Amino acid sequence: MIDTTNSPHVKLRSIPIGDCRWTEGFWADKFQQCQDVMIPYMGSLLKGDIGHGLNNFKIAAGMMEGKHQGFAWHDGDFFKWMEAAVYVYSINRDSSILEELDEILEIVAKVQEDDGYLHTQIQIENIGHFSNRKYHEMYNCGHLYTSACVHHRVTGKRNFLDIAIKNADLLYKLFQPRPKELCRFGFNQSQIMGLVELYRTTRDKRYLELAEIFINNRGQSEVVDDPSTEGYPIGDMVQERVPLREETEAVGHAVLALYYYAGAADVFAETGEKALIDALDRLWHNVCEQKMYVTGAVGQAHFGASTRRDKIEEGFLDAYLMPMATAYNETCANIANAMFNFRLLGIHGQSKYADIMELVAMNSALVGIGLGGKDYFYANPLRLNRGQRDYQDHRDCTESPIREPYIECFCCPPNLVRTIAKLSNWAYSLTDNGVAVNLFGGNRLETKLTDGSDFTLTQQSAYPFEGAIRFTVEKCRQRPIEILLRIPDWADGAKLLVNGSPMGINVEPGSFSKIERSWESGDTIELNLPMDVTLMKGHPLIEEVRNQAAIKVGPLVYCLESPDLPDDVRTLDVHLPSDIDLKKESDPELLGGITTLSGEVLVRSEQRQQMYGRLHDGQPWRTIQTRFVPYFAWSNRGEAEMTVFLPIVWSQRT
């Protein structure tokens, strides 16, 4: 996905695409569904008259009549679907996938103009090239480059890569001189990631230079509307008020910001510029320790203002300002958070970044797709109540109380599907003398270490519902190598055995445990992570969750959903005893056989009509038995109320 094989400023390097594959359990099931359902279904949308992605290319190529449909960035979303298909091909080697992509690429090549320009809406509607940044040309370019590099690495073909190179050469010609009229164009920053990947693929230094130019251009212009910006918010919304190296807080549109930071991290991995990584570390702290939800989600509001009072959309608010019912948490933003952390994991080699990758993957990313693999959320609140919003009259293209089979703004679904398709490539990294284990789940790693020697490792686990994980070394060189095992920050009391013995290895939550030795075929490592039910509280400055708690087991956040309550009880009526005893239950007939939590909660209904009233006893307390389901699985049983946080009733025993 990102090739840091030769990047001089990383501690952990990415494994080649396809070297790890899921074999059993949670993520193996998700990948299988991705291969069998998610990608084919999405392809039927994007190649048909609903999604209209391929139709746009056919119209631009003169192969059919019609109008452009979808938003200006629809080409980039189509490229993401193509990238997802390549990840699946890297595992199953189904030649029909390549044949289909080759047919598509023939059409894309016909659309590309002689100078390399490629953007179907602008070409169909005869809009001036690079005349206004609201058309998101850079976004489309970035996903073109990334998808093309992945395609080339997996297949060895150049038909996609040559299209990308031709387009990138045009960008270099236009943007490298840094003309004033183009200096505010690089605001949707996927092109920075794409250009660095194109540099890593071709070793053409112009692409890395151009990626740096797009970073350096930010914060250098007067923040006023000009012909290149009209029709789209300016300032903090697009991270252009303060140069990146001077920025102290995450502002504006969350996807734009995190793509920007991820691209800058890619640049740092190649250049080692200290000012860049210092800024990114500050921004990581602000995002992940002051503006991130318990699910790993980010982007608190659909509409609002930055601390500098610029209008923002789908983005960051002030620190600790964390609404629950109106939390926006765009699926793309959550995924971008994981992408940013994956890059910092490589740079710093610290397990806390993998903790967030996993938190996002298991919760705020996966919630974006239904258990059937064919319907999607765009926004992901942590609470939904009846009467909260009249969805029938006031719903826009990105908000719904249920997942939709197609969303007009289709950026999130292919982004999530490509993430599921490639997640096995996040499971391991290469160290200078071995491997690091980042994610858990049944899988098989067959790779080469940095010295070129073969290494094979298998992982057996029912994670995330069980914490017993067993690794078996199948092939390894004779000289010692290190295996780094992530000990999640929640895993107090984790135990580690090598060939059945403790070996005196330090096991510290929130770090990598290092085992360095000569390995023989058949050697085993047993990692036991305590999967205790934990009540989570928020920072005291998060007013929305004062005296409330969420439930977490390992990496999974749980929620309460109205189908698990009596008809006369709403989620607003439910209170959580501080000493609640929750039992794990597995029901193969419920939501695909997930593990639920069952216990007694306190209920008191108050049908208040006034906005405020006197405190009184109201209805008497009663106790009911209910169950909690993983957050990613909510809204798969029809329209429902849901909440992650519940008010606490404190017991004297706690």
- Sorting pLDDT into bands at 50, 70 and 90, what band is 389? low
- Residue indicated by tokens 């099931």: 29
Residues 523 and 542 in one domain: no
Residues 319 and 422 in one domain: yes
- The pair of structure tokens assigned to 414 is 């292919």
d(CA 188, CA 182): 14
pLDDT attached to residue 187:
83
pLDDT attached to residue 398:
67
d(CA 525, CA 428): 16
H helices of 349-496, in order, are: 351-359, 391-394, 412-422
Count of Cβ atoms closer than 10 Å to residue 461 Cβ: 22
Residue 361's nearest CA partner among 319, 397, 415, 324 is 415
Helix (H) or strand (E) holding 336: helix 331-348
CATH code: domain of residue 207: 1.50.10.10
Arithmetic mean of pLDDT over the chain: 95
- Sorting pLDDT into bands at 50, 70 and 90, what band is 149? very high
Asked if residue 397 has pLDDT above 60, the reply is no
User: Which whole number is the average pLDDT over 121-127?
Assistant: 98
Residue 8 lies in a domain: no
Asked if residue 95 has pLDDT above 80, the reply is yes
Q: Tens digit of pLDDT for each residue in 455-493?
A: 999 999 999 999 999 999 999 999 999 999 999 999 999
Residues 118 and 239 in one domain: yes
Residue 141 lies in a domain: yes
Candidate ranges 195-209, 381-395, 599-613; pick with highest mean pLDDT: 195-209
Residue 2 lies in a domain: no
Q: Tens digit of pLDDT for each residue in 159-205?
A: 999 999 999 999 999 999 999 999 999 888 899 999 999 999 999 99
Asked if residue 400 has pLDDT above 90, the reply is no
pLDDT attached to residue 610:
79
Helix (H) or strand (E) holding 84: helix 74-92
Q: Residue type at 73?
A: W
Q: 455 by DSSP, 3-state: which?
A: strand
Residues 322 and 371 in one domain: yes
Domain end point (choices 504, 528, 552): 528
Q: 380 by DSSP, 3-state: which?
A: coil
Residues 524 and 547 in one domain: no
Asked if residue 426 has pLDDT above 60, the reply is yes
Residues 17 and 159 in one domain: yes
Backbone dihedral angles phi then psi of residue 577, each to the nearest 5 degrees:
-60, 135
Residues 449 and 584 in one domain: no
pLDDT attached to residue 646:
98
d(CA 463, CA 100): 35
Domain end point (choices 528, 553, 588): 528
Q: Tens digit of pLDDT for each residue in 9-30?
A: 999 999 999 999 999 999 999 9
HSE, side-chain direction, 13 A CA sphere, residue 406: 14
* Count of the separate structural domains present in the chain: 3
Cβ neighbors of 405 (< 8 A, separation 6 or more) are 374, 375, 376
Helix, strand, coil share (%) of the chain residues, nearest 5: 40, 20, 45
pLDDT attached to residue 559:
98
Q: What percent of the chain has pLDDT over 90?
A: 92
Helix (H) or strand (E) holding 215: helix 205-217
Residues 489 and 374 in one domain: no
Q: Tens digit of pLDDT for each residue in 259-277?
A: 999 999 999 999 999 999 9
pLDDT attached to residue 634:
97
Residue 136 lies in a domain: yes
Residue 391 lies in a domain: no
d(CA 645, CA 649): 13
User: Which whole number is the average pLDDT over 546-558?
Assistant: 98
pLDDT attached to residue 613:
79
Q: Tens digit of pLDDT for each residue in 490-505?
A: 999 999 999 999 988 9
Residue 5 lies in a domain: no
d(CA 296, CA 298): 7
- Sorting pLDDT into bands at 50, 70 and 90, what band is 396? low
Instruction: Give the domain range for residue 462.
Output: 428-528
Residues 341 and 206 in one domain: yes
Q: What percent of the chain has pLDDT over 70?
A: 97
C-alpha angle with apex 301: 300 to 305, nearest 5 degrees?
110
pLDDT attached to residue 287:
98
Q: Taking phi first (over 0 means left), then psi (-120 to 50 degrees means alpha), and beta for anything else, what does residue 434 get?
A: left
d(CA 149, CA 160): 8
Residue 274 lies in a domain: yes
pLDDT attached to residue 606:
72
User: Which whole number is the average pLDDT over 623-649?
Assistant: 96
Domain end point (choices 528, 545, 561): 528
Residue 288 lies in a domain: yes
pLDDT attached to residue 391:
47
H helices of 112-136, in order, are: 120-125
pLDDT attached to residue 392:
43
Residues 537 and 486 in one domain: no
pTM of the model: 0.97
Residues 474 and 567 in one domain: no
pLDDT attached to residue 653:
59
d(CA 416, CA 282): 27
Residues 297 and 368 in one domain: yes
